[in-house]
Structure 1
Amino acid sequence: MSSALLPDEIQKPIYRLNQHPGYRRLFAPQELTIGLIMPLETHPDRPAPTMADHTSMAIRADKLGFAALWLRDVPFYDPTYGDVAQVFDPIAYIGYLAAVTHNITLGTAGIVLPLREPLILAKQIASLDHLSAGRMMLGVSSGDRPAEYPLFGVDYDTRGDRFREAYTVFRTVTEERFPVYDSPRFGRLNGQFELIPKPVVDRAPTIAIGQAQQSLEWIAENLDGLLRAAPDPDYLSTVAEQWRIAVERSLGKGHCKPLGVGAFLDLAEDADAPLRRMPGGFRAGRRSLIGFLEAVKSEGINHVALNPKVSRRPYIEVMDELAADVLPLFPTH
């Protein structure tokens, strides 16, 4: 881990993004990895998990070889949605998880960027990147809960514009020495101040979680990848082709950027149970799940983030079955 934290000591980045440990663990052309969306606990009939064994389960996921743990950004409990994700704030929680795990990528899926102050977020993400030895993956979204925006005094209808503006500020201060910018919403810097520390490589790897009110072309040009909701299997090729076209339109022929999908998973005890759609994901036995993942990989999709919180089985059973029978077919890099 870099110890160059003072302005005069900061060296010009010499690594490319694909040499970032967290990014490299997840993404490689024509390969597929498997991650888990937090919490690591099943609670199909309750809005909140107990988080009773969250530390031991995170350590277990790391040792079993899952590619990533993904944390959602849900600041308040809204009974309309009935879901509080992993309870703990993702930024604080990643700092904790960085200390108890060693290899697994730690990502946000995703930080609601229009509700975050980008200068503070930049400091937090760069710090976590160092504290985790380069395992930090920033996923950013525009948020999908209109009721939250008034709590922060933010107009919901401006979230797309705020997303782009906040992201520009974030990139500027994490990548440039003594940056200069003027943002209508997020202040200005005049070249007299420096963000310390910078991320451990060229920049903090950043992916879009959903389209964040942006075009696919804008995401392809400005972010390092896309993680979206898993489509019906019949539309996998369409989703993958749309992303490939957007990347080539933005960056030119021959360029590629990673695409991932996320889904709820109710893993059936019957290994031969067919894959069936459910809201936000699938119910499947492990053989039909493997078939789906093989189809995902064949379309050039690079990562699948599974959320088994809806399963009726104990999470540890689901995790161990995935590790024994699924991960060997789609190993972490």
Structure 2
Amino acid sequence: MLDTTAMPQSFSRVFCEGRLSVGLITPLEAYPDSPFPTLKDHQQVSKQAEDAGFGSIWVRDVPFYDPNFGDAAQMLDPFVYAGYLAAVTERITIGTTGIVLPLREPVSVAKQALSVDRLTEGRFILGLSTGDRPVEYPAFNIDFEDRGERYREAVEVIRILSETRFPKAETLRFGTFSGNLDMHPKPVHGRLPIMAVGRARQPIEWLAKNVDAWIWAVDDDTAIREILTALKDAAGEGMPPAYGYSTFFDLDPNPDAPYQRFYNVVRIGRKALIERLLHHRDLGVRHVALNLKPSQRAAQSVIDEMGSHVLPALEAA
């Protein structure tokens, strides 16, 4: 976990004690009737999100289009796209939700993440998942049943390479480091923030002691309380990881519209949204990541209303 006395701004902008920030999941557009986004004007929309006061932009790792799943995300490689976003933004935190770590070689992930960290001048969070599409595993010749153990070992490799100079370590599934090689660049702020995305096949005890934040899809009040209690208990005397959740999101044009859920889509007016976010902040949620794919309104319109009304209300409360 992060040393909170030296917390990178990339992290504290998104996960700050006593506050709740809001981020956007790429692609930054509404495309409810297609699995493929247009990526039209995505440079301008990224800058609009930054100027509106969103805390983060999250890029997704979807190697293949699976027709049974029905969403190709932003289509572009997440690290390539994160590097691109680094050039068109200045302040907003850029992160991944999440790199499907068991499908990737961790030495390469470490190099790519540290490169984006340097390009963004330290405003990067590395989110790591085991993915939600089992059909991808055979394409990479990776054992689906081994994904949990592979995930844990790969996280350890990334930590070692990013935080240790000329490391010495032997791994079961990956390489051997003999103390004669050193990875550069090192993290801008001394440590690369690592976030678990989804449960990642890990017990609460492991998450509480090995990641700096955790984004899941669980936003039920009772479940949030149970999760936060479990993380605190498992962390012992240490600082538990910050908790946030992601959701498919449709901002109702009627500001008085109540909260509604349609399977995994939240539809809500801004007044009820503000009330809901403040309530979750008080429960201990630190970040909410919104996916605009099912939105009935253009992303620009949603971002404008959020920036004019919702985000300022969170700051003022």
| TM-score computed with the length of structure 2 as normaliser | 0.95
2:234 maps to 1:249: yes
**Alpha-carbon distance change, 17 to 173 in structure 1, aligned in 2, over 3 angstroms:** farther
Describe how 1:4-23 pairs up with structure 2 within 5 A.
Answer: 18-23=6-11
Aligned to 1:140: 128
Aligned to 2:20: 32
* 1:244/1:256 contact within 8 Å kept: no
Counterpart AA for 2:81? Y
Shift, 1:269, TM fit: 1.0
Counterpart AA for 2:236? L
Aligned to 2:314: 330
Shift, 1:16, TM fit: 5.7
Aligned to 2:223: 238
Aligned to 1:47: 35
Aligned to 1:60: 48
Q: Structure 2 regions of 5+ residues with no counterpart?
A: none
Whole-angstrom distance in 2 between the partners of 1:247 and 1:193? 37
Whole-angstrom distance in 1 between the partners of 2:141 and 2:33? 32
Shift, 1:225, TM fit: 1.1
* 2:93/2:124 contact within 8 Å kept: yes
Equivalenced residues, count: 314
Whole-angstrom distance in 1 between the partners of 2:265 and 2:193? 26
| TM-score computed with the length of structure 1 as normaliser | 0.91
Shift, 1:230, TM fit: 3.5
RMSD between superposed Cα atoms in Å: 1.6
Whole-angstrom distance in 2 between the partners of 1:281 and 1:292? 15
How many percent of aligned residue pairs carry the same amino acid?
A: 44
Counterpart AA for 2:27? P
Describe how 1:31-180 pairs up with structure 2 within 5 A.
Answer: 31-180=19-168
**Alpha-carbon distance change, 16 to 176 in structure 1, aligned in 2, over 3 angstroms:** farther
Q: Structure 1 regions of 5+ residues with no counterpart?
A: 1-14
* 1:264/1:282 contact within 8 Å kept: yes
Aligned to 1:213: 201
Counterpart AA for 2:225? A
* 1:217/1:247 contact within 8 Å kept: no
* 1:218/1:250 contact within 8 Å kept: no
2:276 maps to 1:292: yes
SS of alignment partner, residue 330 of structure 1:
helix
**Alpha-carbon distance change, 17 to 47 in structure 1, aligned in 2, over 3 angstroms:** farther
Shift, 1:149, TM fit: 0.2
**Alpha-carbon distance change, 17 to 128 in structure 1, aligned in 2, over 3 angstroms:** farther
Describe how 1:169-208 pairs up with structure 2 within 5 A.
Answer: 169-208=157-196
